[in-house]
């Protein structure tokens, strides 16, 4: 007999795998067994859990839809044992339409279905193309408690013509508590955004809110978990940890003011710590979920490869990481020494393969073809391309995935050679600007995230962090011989990429006009290179992946001038369709 003054919820902040329907179902069973042991009334799993999130176009396959439904039906039958009810996300076909749904499984049946009403279609999300919009619906009843189930974006969107106020509908139809299953990917400052949105919904409704998010890496996205709850007075009910799986059972009690909970509160990872944890989890899941035995990366003695090595060892352990130094005549002795030191610090298998003979061979082959032409960047780029060929050969031979080590600053402006230092399967720092590369390297010497498998302490030599960056792509020149200092470069790029700021506004902030125009030009010219780069972890609001969709063939260039004010007098304002045609 349910206790009307107590409601026990088990939250399963888990790491589903897209397409692994049977594996995800087993995770749900294991979590339900834990919930039963804790005498929970309800187990909650995240958005589209049975399919894995985001399933993208996989969810359009009828065979996939049918397999998801069959798994949900099997789980529903198992609830006939009288144990906890289950709230689980799933694709669902109803009357020929495909929905992003949550199913309530209880008493051996699918006791209720709720469909997502507000479908995100911005940034990395593309749900309007694959899902039908569901209606706003009332709460579901679990052990006598009326539970509102807004799904992710149903609590996020602001009022507009397309917005369905799901929370208002739930309040008006008698909901007592809001449980929000989410597939919300990590970006810097995302925790503050989630909290602000949730506080707004609690303020509007007066209802307590449970925010359950999935955890894990999926291609370029990383889901950090960081699930939390708010009481009806907006006080924090609980906070689960970020970037790790967690199953927690929470006991809610009913008072005159509604349902109240006082659960555990874990610290939230954000800022540089959140970014580093995201890079580790993203690489770990990409390697593990794709069943690579390990990873391989080139170690130059520079800071980018040093940080990628730290991330790789933290992600999968030193025994699964292999580093290769590929020196040439321009490679500084200190770079060779630092590469060896960091390899020792992380206890990885380490090889040194000089590339002079290979480059000489290429130059011999090309000698007659290039006769009469001066040496230029073509010959210099042979260094990077030769390294790429050798690293890919080792990757093919041993089956290890090649990790790419280009940072966002240099990839933005084209300082990455195709088929050379952009070869590989995955780039953990693809969305990390160079200034943050320095910060994360210093941070790793004093801290590592929970579950990191690498050694503690000052593992990245200070000499690497302190040494001015070099680019053998430009032989012995530094990157900053042809680029502005990295703090200036990154500030300009952040405005161009993340904010889509007009050049005139950046110049008005005090940045040199010629520098801003040159960086914008380089950014546009490098679009084709970035299209061919491997995937990598997303940590900023807009990265060079699913967020930013620019044409490669593109003649528009912002001239850096203040835009002309629109001439409203030229526009005829029609009040009806006939008038519009006549006008």
Active site residues: 47, 116, 152
- The CA distance from 330 to 350, in Å, is 21
Q: Do 423 and 402 contact (CB within 8 A), yes or no?
A: yes
Concatenating the DSSP letter of every residue in 59-125 gives GG-HHHHHHHHHHHHHHHHHGGGS--EEEEEEEEEETTEEEEEEEEEETTEEEEEEE--S---STT-
Residue 42 phi, psi dihedral angles, 5° rounding:
-145, 135
- 110: which strand partners? 105
Q: Which two tokens stand for residue 61?
A: 């396959």
- Cα–Cα separations (whole angstroms), residue 202 to 154, 171, 472: 13, 11, 55
Strand segments (E) across 118-226: 140-142, 145-148, 177-182, 209-213, 215-218, 221-224
Question: Residue 349, exposed/middle/buried by CB under 10 A (0-12, 13-18, 19+)?
Answer: middle
Kind and range of the H or E run holding 296: strand 295-298
- The CA distance from 558 to 57, in Å, is 35
Q: Do 199 and 229 contact (CB within 8 A), yes or no?
A: no
Q: How many CB atoms neighbour CB 395 within 10 A?
A: 21
Q: Which residues of 81-108 are buried (b: 16+ CB within 10 A; e: fewer)?
A: eebbbbbbbbbbeeeeebbbbbbbbbee
Q: Do 380 and 271 contact (CB within 8 A), yes or no?
A: no
- The CA distance from 293 to 300, in Å, is 23
Alpha helix ranges (H) inside 447-576? 462-466, 486-493, 503-508, 513-525, 527-531
Residue 218 phi, psi dihedral angles, 5° rounding:
-140, 105
Q: Which two tokens stand for residue 359?
A: 């480059």
Question: Residue 548, exposed/middle/buried by CB under 10 A (0-12, 13-18, 19+)?
Answer: middle
């Amino acid at each position: 007999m349910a206790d009307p003054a107590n409601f026990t919820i088990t939250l399963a902040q888990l790491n589903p795998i897209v397409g692994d329907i049977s594996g995800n179902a087993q995770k749900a069973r294991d979590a339900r067994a834990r919930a039963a042991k804790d005498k929970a009334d309800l187990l909650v799993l995240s958005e589209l859990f049975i399919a894995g999130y985001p399933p993208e176009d996989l969810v359009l396959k009828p065979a996939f839809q049918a397999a998801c439904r069959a798994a949900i039906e099997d789980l529903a039958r198992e609830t006939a044992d009288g144990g906890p009810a289950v709230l689980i996300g799933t694709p669902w076909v109803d009357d020929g339409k495909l929905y992003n749904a949550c199913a309530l499984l209880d008493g051996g049946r699918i006791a209720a279905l709720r469909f997502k009403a507000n479908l995100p279609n911005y940034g990395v999300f593309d749900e309007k193309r694959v899902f039908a919009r569901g209606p706003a619906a009332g709460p579901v009843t679990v052990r006598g408690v009326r539970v509102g189930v807004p799904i992710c974006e149903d609590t996020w969107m602001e009022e507009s013509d397309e917005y369905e106020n799901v929370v208002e509908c739930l309040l008006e139809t008698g909901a007592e508590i809001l449980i929000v299953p989410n597939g919300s990917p990590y970006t810097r400052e995302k925790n503050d955004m989630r909290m602000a949105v949730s506080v707004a919904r609690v303020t509007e409704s007066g209802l307590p809110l449970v925010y359950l998010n999935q955890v894990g890496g999926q291609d370029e996205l990383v889901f950090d978990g960081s699930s939390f709850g708010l009481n009806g007075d907006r006080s924090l009910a609980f906070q689960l940890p970020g970037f790790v799986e967690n199953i927690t059972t929470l006991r809610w009690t009913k008072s005159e003011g509604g349902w109240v909970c006082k659960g555990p509160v874990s610290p939230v990872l954000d800022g540089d710590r959140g970014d580093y944890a995201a890079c580790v989890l993203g690489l770990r899941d990409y390697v593990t979920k794709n069943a690579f035995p390990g990873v391989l990366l080139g170690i130059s003695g520079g800071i980018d490869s040093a940080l990628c090595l730290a991330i790789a060892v933290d992600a999968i352990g030193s025994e699964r990481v292999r580093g290769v130094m590929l020196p040439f005549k321009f490679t500084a002795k200190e770079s060779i020494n630092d590469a060896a030191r960091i390899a020792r610090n992380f206890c990885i298998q380490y090889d040194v393969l000089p590339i002079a003979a290979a480059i000489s061979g290429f130059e011999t082959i090309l000698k007659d073809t290039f006769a009469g032409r001066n040496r230029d960047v073509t010959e210099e780029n042979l260094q990077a391309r030769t390294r790429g060929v050798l690293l890919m050969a080792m990757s093919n031979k041993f089956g290890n995935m090649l990790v790419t080590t280009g940072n966002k600053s240099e990839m933005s402006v084209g300082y990455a050679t195709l088929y050379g230092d952009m070869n590989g399967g995955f780039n953990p720092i693809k969305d990390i600007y160079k200034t943050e590369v320095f910060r994360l390297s210093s941070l790793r010497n004093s801290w590592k995230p929970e579950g990191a498998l690498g050694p503690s302490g000052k593992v990245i030599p200070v000499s690497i962090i302190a040494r001015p960056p070099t680019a053998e792509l430009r032989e012995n020149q530094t990157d900053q011989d042809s680029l502005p200092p990295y703090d200036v470069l990154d500030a300009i790029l952040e405005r161009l990429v993340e904010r889509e700021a007009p050049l005139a506004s950046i110049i008005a902030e005090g940045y040199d006009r010629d520098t801003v125009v040159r960086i914008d030009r380089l950014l546009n010219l490098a679009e084709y290179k970035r299209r061919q780069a491997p995937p990598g972890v997303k940590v900023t609001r807009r990265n060079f992946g699913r967020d930013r969709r620019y044409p490669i063939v593109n003649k528009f260039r912002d001239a850096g001038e203040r835009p002309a004010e629109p001439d409203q007098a030229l526009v005829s304002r029609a009040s009806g369709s006939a008038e519009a045609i006549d006008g």
